[in-house]
C-alpha cells in the first residue's frame, strides 16, 4: 500500500490539507502518474491562461497557480495532441512561448 | 479464445528488439519458418527510440525501421506484436512446445490506418513509456510515430470497479473521465447508452459504484452519482440534444409498466427501430419514481424530464391504462410484450387489528403524499413498521407532514436494516426515532387504531438472506400509543385532508412489497413474482418477457434499469431470430484489483471529497419546519471537476467510447478478446534485451525528486527527431539549459548497487549526446564527470576526441551528492582527482545520469521444465561465450544480444548472428535425426 501524502490542494482554492508529520518533505512532490492524470483537467485553465496571448511555462504556472514542472507535463501533452504549439524562437531567458492552436471549427 | 490447432515453426524468437529482429530475419533468409513474439505493440525495441547511434551518428530510427518493416513482412517470419510466450516445454524430439498469447489490442489491426484520431479524443492520460515518462500518452495509443505495425492499441487493464459494480451497466468510469475533460454532453450520452434515467439516477441511485471506488481506500470515493446529476442538470439546462431516431423496422413492442425497467427497455427498443408503446396503469408514468419516492429525494420535475427524453425517442406512453390481457396485445400487432409492472402490492403484517382505520400501507401513504393528497398527520404519533428504504421514506414524509413524533419499529438491529445507512442517518438527524429489536403483535383500538403492542426480539442464527434471524426475546411486550407524545406538534408545510376515522395515533406498514400480476396468466414463483428464464428474461410464453421488480422482487432503480436493458437486448435478439445469448451485455474483462491500482503510484496527494458527511445538509440542521423541497444541493462545475479529478483511472481505458465514435475505419472493438495457441518449434532464441538501471536507486543524485535530473534515455528522447518536447528543455520549467552535466557509471561498475559490471554503452552514448547537444544548443556547456572513459571499438576513441574538440569538458571525479537550488539548478559535489583531490562544488542547470544496464532474465519463468542457466551477473548464461557464443546450457535454446550481457548495437547484431548460426545447426541436426 503506497504512502498517502498530504500536500495543499489544487488551484480550486480549497483548504490546505497538509497534515503535520504525515509525509516526509522529500515526498512533497506528486507522483508523475498523478500529475499526468490531471492533464485533461488542466487543459481548460491553461487554455484560458493562453487566451490573452502566448506565455512561457513559468508564466502559465503563475497564471494557474501550479508548479512549473507539472505545467511542463501538461503543456507538452497538449502540444503533442494538437492543442498548443510553440512560437519558434525562445526568449532571451531561454523560455519558449506557447500559444493556442486555432482550429478550423473554432 | 483458444486456437486448438498447433502451428509449426523451425524457430521461436522471443523479443523484437534489434537482436531479435536480426535473428528472425537471418533465419528467415535461410528459409527457416520463424515465429517472432514481441510483447510491446511494435517491434524495434529500444534502438528505435534512440536519437542517433554512435559513432556514426546515423539516425537510429532511420536504420531501425527498414529492419522493422522487413521482419514484419518477411515471407518466412510470422511477427506477433502485443503478444507473449506463456510457456515453453520440451516436446521430446529435441524441440519445444510453446504456448503463445496474443493480447487483445481492441483494434482491428487489418482495418486500422494509424490515423491517431482515437488518441486525440481519448480521455485518459498515462505516462508514456516510449518517451521515458517525460510526457503523457493516452489509453488509446500508437506507441511512437515509426511503430511497426503502425496500429493503435487500447490499454485495458481490467474493468474499473465503479463500472463493474453498476447494475444498470453504466460506464461509470467513462462518464467520470468525460466530465474531467469538460465533455459533459458526451458524458450524458454515455450514460444514455445504458439507461435514459440520468437525472433520476443522479439523485436517487444508491451508488454501488462509489461503494467499490478505489479512491475510497484513500480519502473517500469519487462522488460518481453526483457527477451523473451534474451532467443531467447541465444537459437539460442547455436544452438537451435531440435524440436520434432510427428508421422504423416495422415491428411493434408493448411494455406494461413505466417504472425504471419498462422505461429503460422502451428507450433501447425505440433506438433499435421498434415502435414502442408503454401501458401505465397509474395516471402518471414513472412507476415508483413518480408515485412513491418522496420529492425531497427525487423531485417530480426530474422524473418527468427524463421521461420526456424517452418520449422524444419515439416511445409512446399511455397512462390510466391497466393491461389485463397480454394476449390481446399480441392481437393488436405487438410482436413482443415486456411485463415490467414492479411490486405495488404491500405485504400485510398478519397481526390482529391491522385493518383498523389509522393503519396504513406505506406505499399508499407515500403515493398520497406525492400526489398532494396526503393524509393529515399533524400532531399525531406515527409508528412505521419496517426497516427498508420505503419505511425510511415514509418516516421522513410523515415528519414533513407535521407528525408530532415518528418512530420506526424494526424487528432486527440497525446493522441488519435493509435501508441505506445514510438514509437512516439522515432520518435520525431529522428527528425520526428508531425502536430496534421489536415487532408488532397486534394493533389495538376502538373504532380506530389507538395503540400497537410490540414484542421485544433478539437475534439468532443467520437466515437465507444472511441476516440474523429475529426471535422473540424473553421479555414483556410493550405498548406504543398516542400517550407517548412528548412534544408539541410540528408545523406542517402543506395543507392536507384529515384521515378518515383516524385518531391521534397512526401505524404505517412498510413490511415489504410484492408483485401484483394476478390475472395476467403468467407462471409465478412462490413469492408471487413472475417466473422467467433468469438469463433471457423470457417467460414460458415466448413472446412475453418480464423484467425488473416484478421478476426479482423489490430492488433498486439501477438494478431495475439494468434488467430493463437486458430485456430489451433479449427482445431485440428474439425478434431478429437470433440466439438469446447474453455475451454482448457483460464485461469481457475481470474487475480491476484495487491493490494493483494503488501500487501504480509510490505516493498519493491527499485530495478530500468536495464535501464529506451528509450530502443532504438541509436535513442535518433541522431548525425550522421540514418541507418537500429537494434536500441535496446542486452540483457546481467546480465541484464536478474537483470530483472527477480524483478518479484513479483504475482500468486505464475508461470505456468512454469516444474512440469508437470517432474512428473513421470503425476498427475499435472494446469487446475483443485475446487468442492463445500452441506452436511446435525446433529451436528457441531468447532476445529479451536488458533493462535500464533505475536511477532513483542512487538517491544521492536526486532522480525523481529534483526536476532537472534526468536519465540518459530521457536525454536521448529529448534529442530524437520524434522528441516529446519542442526542443531540449528542462523538465523543471521548460527552459533551454545552458550548462549540462553528465554523470557516467550511474548504477554500473558500482558495488554499492550490486552491479560491478561496466555497462559498455554509457560512455559512448553520453559522448554521442554531448555532440548532439552542442549541435542543437551551440551556447550550452557540457561537462562529463567520469572515472575513466571506455571507448573500445572501431572509431570510438576518435569519437571521444571529437567530442572534446567540440568543447565537451571531461572532469575526472565521482559525484558524491547533488542538491537542488530554488531556481532548479543543481549543485554537484565531487572529489577533483586531477587537481589534488579536494572536494569541489559545481553548479549546472541540467544533470544527465548515464545509467547503466541490468539483466532482463524474466523469460526463464516461461520454461516449464528446465530453464537455461544464468551467469554470475544474472544475465542469460552462455555455455562458453568465447568458443560457443549464443548457446545456452540447454540444447535448442539460444541467446542473442544483450540478454546475454551488455552490448552496443553492432555487438548485439553480431551476437545475434552467432545465435542464428547455432540455432540453424540445431534445427538441421534435428532434421537429420528425424
Residue B833 has pLDDT above 70, yes or no: yes
Question: With bands split at pLDDT 50, 70 and 90, how would you rate the model's confidence at B713?
Answer: very high
Q: Which one-letter DSSP state was computed for residue B200?
A: H
A31 and B601 within 8 Å at the Cβ level: the answer is: yes
Q: Which three cell numbers stand for residue B429?
A: 438527524
Instruction: Encode pLDDT of B285-330 as tens digits.
Output: 999 999 889 999 999 999 999 999 999 999 999 999 999 999 999 9
Question: With bands split at pLDDT 50, 70 and 90, how would you rate the model's confidence at B486?
Answer: very low
Residue A36 has pLDDT above 50, yes or no: yes
* pLDDT of res. B483: 64
Other CB atoms within 10 A of residue B462 CB: 11
Contacts of B604 in chain A (CB under 8 A): 2-5, 31, 34
* pLDDT of res. B495: 39
Instruction: Encode pLDDT of B787-814 as tens digits.
Output: 989 988 889 999 999 999 999 999 999 8
d(CA B631, CA B293): 13
Q: Which three cell numbers stand for residue B225?
A: 452519482
b (16+ CB within 10 A) / e for B181-208: bbbbebbbbbbbbbbbbbbbbbbbbbbb
Contacts of A17 in chain B (CB under 8 A): 606-608
B120 and A81 within 8 Å at the Cβ level: the answer is: yes
Instruction: Encode pLDDT of B78-99 as tens digits.
Output: 999 999 999 999 999 899 999 9
* pLDDT of res. B858: 87
* pLDDT of res. A105: 55
Helix (H, G, I), strand (E, B) or coil at B844: strand
* pLDDT of res. B502: 60
Asked if residue B558 lies in contact with residue B206, where contact means CB atoms within 8 angstroms, the answer is yes
Strand partners, B842: B828
Instruction: Encode pLDDT of B130-158 as tens digits.
Output: 999 999 999 999 999 999 999 999 999 99
Strand partners, B97: B89, B680
Question: With bands split at pLDDT 50, 70 and 90, how would you rate the model's confidence at B499?
Answer: low
CB pairs under 8 A between A and B: 143
Question: What integer best gives the mean pLDDT of chain B?
Answer: 93
User: For the residues B169-174, what does the mean pLDDT come to?
Assistant: 98
Here the contacts of A21-24 (C-beta below 8 Å, separation 24 or greater) are: A23/B603
Question: With bands split at pLDDT 50, 70 and 90, how would you rate the model's confidence at A21?
Answer: very low
Question: What integer best gives the mean pLDDT of chain A?
Answer: 79
* pLDDT of res. A24: 38
b (16+ CB within 10 A) / e for B774-796: bebbeebbbbbbbeebbbeeeeb
Asked if residue B831 lies in contact with residue B811, where contact means CB atoms within 8 angstroms, the answer is no
d(CA B411, CA B463): 14
Residue A23 has pLDDT above 50, yes or no: no
Contacts of A2 in chain B (CB under 8 A): 598-599, 601-604
Q: Which residue of B has its CA nearest to A93?
A: B735
Percent above pLDDT 90 for chain B: 85
Contacts of B123 in chain A (CB under 8 A): 40
Element (H, E) at B442: strand B438-444
Question: With bands split at pLDDT 50, 70 and 90, how would you rate the model's confidence at A106?
Answer: very low
Instruction: Give the gap in angstroms from C-alpha A90 to the nearest C-alpha of chain B.
Output: 8
Complex ipTM value = 0.91
d(CA B161, CA B208): 9
A58 and B734 within 8 Å at the Cβ level: the answer is: yes
**Nearest CA-CA partner of B213 in B591, B588, B658, B585:** B591
Residue B496 has pLDDT above 60, yes or no: no
Backbone angles phi and psi of B598, in degrees to 5: -65, -30
Residue B838 has pLDDT above 70, yes or no: yes
Instruction: Encode pLDDT of B198-208 as tens digits.
Output: 999 999 999 99
Instruction: Encode pLDDT of B404-443 as tens digits.
Output: 999 999 999 999 999 999 899 999 999 999 999 999 999 9
Instruction: Encode pLDDT of B865-899 as tens digits.
Output: 899 999 999 999 998 888 899 999 999 999 999 99
Residue B242 has pLDDT above 90, yes or no: no
Question: With bands split at pLDDT 50, 70 and 90, how would you rate the model's confidence at B708?
Answer: very high
d(CA A49, CA B392): 49
* pLDDT of res. B612: 54
Amino acid at each position: 500500500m503506497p504512502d498517502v501524502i498530504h500536500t495543499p490542494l489544487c488551484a480550486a482554492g480549497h483548504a490546505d490539507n497538509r497534515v503535520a508529520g504525515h509525509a516526509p518533505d522529500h515526498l512533497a512532490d506528486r507522483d508523475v502518474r498523478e500529475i499526468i492524470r490531471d492533464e485533461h483537467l488542466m487543459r481548460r485553465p491553461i487554455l484560458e491562461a493562453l487566451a490573452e496571448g502566448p506565455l512561457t511555462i513559468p508564466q502559465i504556472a503563475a497564471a494557474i497557480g501550479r508548479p512549473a514542472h507539472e505545467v511542463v507535463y501538461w503543456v507538452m501533452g497538449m502540444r503533442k495532441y494538437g492543442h498548443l504549439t510553440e512560437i519558434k524562437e525562445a526568449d532571451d531567458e531561454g523560455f519558449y512561448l506557447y500559444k493556442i492552436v486555432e482550429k478550423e471549427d473554432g | 479464445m483458444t486456437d486448438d490447432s498447433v502451428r509449426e515453426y523451425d524457430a521461436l524468437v522471443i523479443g523484437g528488439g534489434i537482436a531479435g529482429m536480426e535473428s528472425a530475419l537471418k533465419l528467415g533468409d535461410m528459409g527457416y519458418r520463424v515465429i517472432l513474439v514481441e510483447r510491446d505493440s511494435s517491434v524495434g525495441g529500444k534502438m528505435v527510440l534512440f536519437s542517433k547511434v554512435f559513432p556514426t551518428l546515423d539516425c537510429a530510427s532511420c536504420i531501425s525501421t527498414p529492419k522493422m518493416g522487413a521482419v514484419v513482412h518477411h515471407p518466412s517470419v510470422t511477427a506477433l506484436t502485443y503478444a507473449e510466450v506463456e510457456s515453453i516445454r520440451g516436446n521430446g524430439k529435441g524441440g519445444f512446445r510453446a504456448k503463445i498469447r496474443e493480447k487483445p489490442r481492441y483494434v482491428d489491426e487489418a482495418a486500422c490506418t494509424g490515423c491517431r484520431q482515437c488518441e486525440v479524443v481519448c480521455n485518459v492520460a498515462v505516462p508514456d513509456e516510449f518517451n521515458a515518462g517525460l510526457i503523457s500518452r493516452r489509453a488509446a495509443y500508437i506507441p511512437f510515430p515509426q511503430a511497426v505495425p503502425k496500429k493503435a492499441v487500447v490499454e485495458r487493464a481490467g474493468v474499473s470497479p465503479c463500472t463493474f459494480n453498476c447494475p444498470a451497466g453504466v460506464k461509470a468510469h467513462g462518464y467520470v473521465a468525460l466530465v474531467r475533460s469538460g465533455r459533459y454532453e458526451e458524458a450524458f450520452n454515455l450514460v444514455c447508452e445504458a439507461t435514459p434515467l440520468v437525472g433520476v439516477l443522479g439523485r436517487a441511485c444508491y451508488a454501488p459504484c462509489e461503494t467499490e471506488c478505489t479512491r475510497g481506500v484513500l480519502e473517500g470515493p469519487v462522488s460518481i452519482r453526483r457527477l451523473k446529476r451534474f451532467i443531467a442538470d447541465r444537459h437539460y439546462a442547455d436544452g438537451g440534444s435531440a435524440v436520434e431516431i432510427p428508421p422504423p423496422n416495422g415491428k411493434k413492442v408493448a411494455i406494461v409498466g413505466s417504472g425504471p425497467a419498462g422505461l429503460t427497455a422502451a428507450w433501447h427498443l425505440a433506438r433499435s427501430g421498434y415502435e414502442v408503446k408503454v401501458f401505465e396503469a397509474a395516471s402518471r408514468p414513472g412507476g415508483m419514481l413518480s408515485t412513491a419516492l418522496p420529492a425531497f429525494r427525487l423531485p417530480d420535475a426530474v422524473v418527468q424530464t427524463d421521461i420526456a427524453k424517452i418520449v422524444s425517442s419515439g416511445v409512446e406512453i399511455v397512462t390510466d391504462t391497466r393491461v389485463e390481457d397480454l394476449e390481446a396485445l399480441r392481437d393488436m400487432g405487438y410482436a413482443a410484450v415486456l411485463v415490467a409492472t414492479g411490486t405495488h402490492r404491500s405485504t400485510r403484517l398478519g397481526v390482529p387489528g391491522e385493518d383498523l382505520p389509522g393503519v396504513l400501507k406505506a406505499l399508499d401513504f407515500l403515493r398520497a403524499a406525492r400526489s398532494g393528497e396526503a393524509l393529515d398527520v399533524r400532531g399525531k404519533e406515527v409508528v412505521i413498521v419496517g426497516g427498508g428504504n420505503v419505511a425510511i421514506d415514509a418516516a421522513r414524509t410523515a415528519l414533513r407532514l407535521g407528525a408530532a413524533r415518528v418512530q420506526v419499529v424494526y424487528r432486527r438491529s440497525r446493522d441488519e436494516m435493509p435501508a441505506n445507512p445514510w438514509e437512516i442517518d439522515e432520518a435520525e438527524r431529522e428527528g425520526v426515532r428508531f425502536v430496534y429489536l421489536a415487532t408488532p403483535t397486534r394493533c389495538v383500538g376502538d373504532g380506530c387504531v389507538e395503540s400497537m403492542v410490540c414484542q421485544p426480539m433478539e437475534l439468532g442464527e443467520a437466515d437465507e438472506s444472511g441476516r440474523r434471524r429475529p426471535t422473540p426475546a424473553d421479555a414483556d411486550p410493550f405498548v406504543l400509543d398516542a400517550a407517548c407524545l412528548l412534544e408539541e406538534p410540528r408545523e406542517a408545510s402543506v395543507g392536507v385532508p384529515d384521515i378518515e376515522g383516524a385518531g391521534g395515533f397512526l401505524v404505517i406498514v412498510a413490511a415489504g412489497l410484492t408483485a401484483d400480476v394476478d390475472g395476467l396468466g403468467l407462471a409465478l414463483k412462490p413469492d408471487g413474482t413472475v417466473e422467467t428464464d433468469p438469463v433471457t428474461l423470457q417467460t414460458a410464453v415466448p413472446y412475453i418477457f418480464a423484467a425488473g421488480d416484478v421478476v426479482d422482487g423489490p430492488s433498486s432503480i439501477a438494478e431495475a434499469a439494468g434488467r430493463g436493458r437486458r430485456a430489451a437486448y433479449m427482445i431485440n435478439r428474439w425478434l431478429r431470430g437470433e440466439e438469446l445469448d447474453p455475451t454482448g451485455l457483460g464485461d469481457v474483462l475481470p474487475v480491476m484489483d484495487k491493490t494493483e491500482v494503488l501500487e501504480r503510484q509510490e505516493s498519493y496527494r491527499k485530495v478530500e471529497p468536495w464535501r464529506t458527511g451528509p450530502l443532504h445538509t438541509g436535513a442535518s440542521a433541522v431548525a425550522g419546519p421540514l418541507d418537500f423541497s429537494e434536500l441535496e444541493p446542486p452540483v457546481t462545475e467546480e465541484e464536478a471537476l474537483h470530483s472527477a479529478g480524483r478518479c484513479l483511472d483504475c482500468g486505464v481505458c475508461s470505456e468512454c467510447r469516444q474512440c469508437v465514435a470517432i474512428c473513421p475505419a470503425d476498427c475499435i472493438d472494446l469487446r475483443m478478446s485475446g487468442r492463445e495457441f500452441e506452436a511446435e518449434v525446433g529451436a528457441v532464441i531468447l532476445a529479451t534485451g536488458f533493462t535500464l538501471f533505475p536511477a532513483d536507486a542512487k538517491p544521492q543524485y536526486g532522480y525523481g525528486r529534483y526536476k532537472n535530473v534526468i536519465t540518459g534515455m530521457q536525454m536521448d528522447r529529448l534529442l530524437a527527431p520524434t522528441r516529446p518536447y519542442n526542443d531540449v528543455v528542462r523538465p523543471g520549467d521548460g527552459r533551454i539549459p545552458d550548462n549540462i552535466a553528465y554523470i557516467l557509471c550511474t548504477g554500473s561498475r558500482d558495488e554499492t548497487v550490486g552491479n560491478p559490471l561496466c555497462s559498455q554503452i554509457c560512455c559512448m552514448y553520453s559522448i554521442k549526446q554531448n555532440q548532439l547537444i552542442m549541435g542543437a544548443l551551440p551556447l550550452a556547456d557540457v561537462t562529463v564527470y567520469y572515472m575513466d572513459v571506455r571507448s573500445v571499438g572501431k572509431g570510438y576513441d576518435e569519437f571521444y576526441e571529437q567530442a572534446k574538440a567540440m568543447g565537451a569538458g571531461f572532469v575526472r571525479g565521482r559525484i558524491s551528492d547533488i542538491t537542488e537550488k530554488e531556481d532548479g539548478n543543481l549543485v554537484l559535489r565531487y572529489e577533483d582527482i586531477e587537481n589534488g583531490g579536494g572536494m569541489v562544488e559545481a553548479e549546472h542547470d541540467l544533470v544527465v545520469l548515464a545509467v547503466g544496464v541490468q539483466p532482463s532474465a524474466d523469460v526463464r519463468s516461461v520454461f516449464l521444465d528446465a530453464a537455461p542457466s544464468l551467469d554470475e551477473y544474472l544475465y542469460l548464461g552462455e555455455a562458453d561465450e568465447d568458443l560457443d557464443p549464443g548457446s545456452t546450457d540447454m540444447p535448442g535454446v539460444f541467446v542473442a544480444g544483450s540478454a546475454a550481457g551488455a552490448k552496443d548495437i553492432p555487438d548485439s547484431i553480431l551476437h545475434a548472428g552467432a545465435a542464428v548460426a547455432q540455432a540453424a545447426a540445431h534445427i538441421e541436426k534435428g532434421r537429420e535425426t528425424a
